Amino acid sequence: MAYIPTHRFKYDNFYEGAMAKLHHKFLIVWVAAAFLAVNFIAVAHAATQPAPSGELVIGTALDTTLSDLNPLTTGNSLASDLVKQMYADNLMYMWPDGNLTPWLANSYTVTEHSNGSESIQYNLNPNADWVSGSNVTGPLTSKDVKFTFDLLMANNTLDSTGVTSNLTSVVAPNNTTVVFNFNASSPLWLTYTSQQVILPSSWASYDNGNLASLGGFTNLKAKIGQEITAGPFYLSKSTQQGATLTANTHFWMGSPKIAKVYFEQFKSTAASTEALKTGAIAAEFPSLSDYNSLSLTANITNVVFPEPWIFNLWMNDQVSPFNNTHLRQGFAYAINKQQIIKKAEDGQGAAGPSNTSYGGLPTVLKQDWASGLTYYAYNVTKAKQEITMAGYNLSNSGYFTNNTTGATLNVTIVDPPIADWEAAATFIVADLQAVGVKASLQITPISTWASDVFNISNFQSGIMTYFGYVPSYTNAYYDLADLYSYDGGSNFNVENFNSSTLNSYFQNASRTTNTSVISSNLSNAQHLIDSQVPVIQIGNAYNYYAYNNKQVQGFVSNLTINDPYNLMQVYAVKGATGPGLSGTTLYEIIGGVVAAIVIIGGVAYGVRKRGKKED
C-alpha cells in the first residue's frame, strides 16, 4: 500500500532522545513533512487503485456470541477482532517495536509548560469520514476526538489507562486540530491519547445526550451494517456461525485490497486447522503444536514471531502474607514457568536467563534490562528455603504454617473463565501445592474478577490472580512507570507497590535527554523491583498464524493476522469461497442487550490489550 510510512518516528526510545522531556522548555516534535508526504501519496494512490476484490476466510475457535460492539467496553474476543477493523481510528498507529506512524493524526506537538503542565496538539487527517455501511455519514473531526475524551471523563471507569485523571480539558479549535491539556507532565500522555479509539460524536444523540449514561451503549441500537464507524472494514453481517466484514472504500488511508473478510467459527483449533489444510478457510491462529504438520502441508505459510505477551502472577504487596519479600521470592522459585508457557499458553518458553528473567520484572525489552538481575529459575529447594525465611515451617500436614500464629499458608488464585488462564493457574496451584503451600483455584465471573482485582481495596489477603498483560509501549520507562509508579501517569499498579525511591528514579529518567542518566535510573529501578519481586513474570510467548498462500498473500509478518494494518495489505490470489454465513442476524439474536458496565476499566485494558487468542 502506498501509505506504508517512509519514515518511522521512534517516539518512545529515550536512547535516541525523541521523547525526552525538557523541563520549563518547549519540546516540539515536527514530523508533519514526512507524514503529509505519506498521506499525499495515499490519497493519490486511493484515486487510482482498483476496487477491492476477493475474500479472506479466517477460522476461529472463539465463541462468536456477541452482545457489545462498543470498543470501550467489549470483552468478547471476536467482538474485539471486529471493532479493531470497524474503529481503526487511533490518532497514531503503533508498531510492535513501539514506533509511531501517522494514522488519524498527520502530526502532533508536545509542549511542556514552565508550571509543570503539558499540552499535546494533534493535527488530523482532513479526509477522514464516518460511514454507515457503504455510505458516508460525515467527516471525522476534532469534535469526535473531544467527544470521546469527554465521554471518558464522564465515565472514568471506562478510562482504561487513567489518562483522564490528569486531563484538565480537550479543546477543538477547528475541525482538524485538537489540543489536550494536562495538569502534569508525563511521557505516558502521548501514548495514552494516541492509542485511544475515537468514537463518533453522533453517539451523543443516544440516551438523551447524557454522557454519564453512554458508558453502556452497545452500538447495537443500529442494525448490523448500519453502525457508524470509520475503520478499513465495516461489519455487514453476523450470525451464530461467524461474522462478515466488508471493505470500507472510503477509508482515509486507502481502500483495502480485499473485498470481504469472514470470521468462521470452529469448535476447536484442531477443526479449523483441518479446514485450513483442505482450503476451506484461508487463514487461522493454529495451535503451536500443529506447526510441524502445517509446515509439511503444501501452500501453507507459517508465521511465528515474538510478541510482548507477559503473564504475571499478581498479589497485593501491601497485605499479609504477600508483603513479605522472602515469600514472594519463594513463589517465584516454586513456579515452573517453562511448563506454563509451553503447555498452558501454547507458546515457546524462553530458554534461559539470556532471554527472560522469569522473576520480578514487568514487560521490558531485553536490551533495556539492567545487568545482574536475578534469575528465578524453577527450584523447589530454594522455594522452600525462601518461604521458611518468611517465617513459616513445614508441618506434618505437608503444608507451611506460620511460626507465630500456627495458621496454614493458604492462598487462592482467582481467575475469570478464560481457557488458557485457567490452564496456567491450574499449573501454578499444583506447583505451589508441591512446595507446601495450600493453594486453590477459584473461577469467578469476569465482572467479579475485575472488581476484585482492579479495585485495589478489594484485592485482599490470600488472593492472587494470573493475568495476561500486553503493554502498549515497549520502552522500559513506560512499562516500569505504568506498573509501579505512584507519582502520576499510571493507574495500573495492581500490586499496590509503593516506593518513593522508585518514583524518584522514574522522575529522573523522564526529565533528561542524557542517555547515561536515563540508563542509570532505569537500571536502578529494575534492580529495586527485582530485589523485591512485586510481580512474578511467567514469560514471553510467541504468536503464530498460518495462511494458504495460494488464496491470499501480502501479510506483514511482524503483525498479527487480525491487525487492521495487516488486513489492509492482503489480497486474494484467487477467488476463495466464503463460508456462506446465513441465519438470524446478531441484532435479532441478542435483542439489543446492553453489556454490563462493570466489564470495563481494567478488563477493557487487560483483555483488549491482551490480544492473545483463547484456545
* Per-position DSSP letters for 255-313, written without gaps between them: --SSSEEEEEE-SSHHHHHHHHHHTSSSEE---GGGHHHHHTSTTEEEEEEEEEEEEEE
* CATH homologous superfamily of 308-541: Dipeptide-binding Protein; Domain 3 (3.10.105.10)
Percent of the chain with pLDDT over 70: 71
Q: Which helix (H) or strand (E) holds 45?
A: helix 32-48
Q: Do 545 and 276 touch, CB atoms closer than 8 A? A: no
pLDDT surpasses 60 at 339: yes
What is the H or E stretch that residue 228 is in? strand 228-229
Per residue in 592-606, pLDDT (tens digit) is: 222 332 323 333 333
pLDDT for the residue numbered 579: 42
> Once rounded to an integer, what is the mean pLDDT over residues 27-39?
37
**For the purposes of burial, counting CB atoms within 10 Å of the CB of 336, is it exposed (0-12), middle (13-18) or buried (19 or more)?**
buried
Percent of the chain with pLDDT over 90: 38
Is the model more confident about 310 or about 171? 171
DSSP output for 357-375:
--SS--S--GGGSPTT---
Report domain extents, the chain. 22-264+549-610, 308-541
Rounded to whole angstroms, how far apart are CA atoms 244 and 580? 10
Q: Poorest-confidence range of 304-318, 508-522, 572-586? A: 572-586
Say which residue, 578 or 187, is predicted with more confidence.
187
Instruction: Produce one character per residue of 555-575: b if its CB has 16 or more CB atoms within 10 Å, e if not.
Output: bbeebbbbbbbbbbbbbbbee
278's grid cell = 483442505
Mean pLDDT of the chain: 76
pLDDT confidence of 308, banded at 50, 70, 90?
A: low
Highest-confidence segment of 102-116, 327-341, 366-380: 102-116
**Parallel/antiparallel/unpaired status of strands 129-132 and 228-229:** antiparallel
Please say whether the beta carbons of 394 and 384 come within 8 A: yes
Condensed to tens digits (0 to 9), the pLDDT of residues 223-248 reads: 666 789 999 999 998 877 788 999 99
Residue 41, pLDDT > 50, answer: no
For residue 340, give the DSSP letter. I
Considering only residues 439 and 602, tell me which one the structure prediction assigns the higher pLDDT: 439
Tell me what the mean pLDDT of segment 473-480 comes to: 66
**What does the alpha-carbon distance between residue 346 and residue 543 come to, in Å, rounded to a whole number?**
9
For 22-264+549-610, which CATH superfamily applies?
Periplasmic binding protein-like II (3.40.190.10)
Whole-angstrom CA distances from 347 to 76, 167, 231, 279 are 22, 39, 30, 25
Average pLDDT over residues 410-438: 90
pTM of the entire predicted model: 0.70
> Which amino acid is residue 427, in one-letter code?
F
Q: pLDDT, tens digit, for every residue of 45-78?
A: 444 568 999 999 999 876 656 667 888 887 677 7
Residue 387 has pLDDT above 90, yes or no: yes
pLDDT at 140: 97
* Cell numbers standing for residue 179: 489540543
* Contact by Cβ (8 Å): 185, 167: no
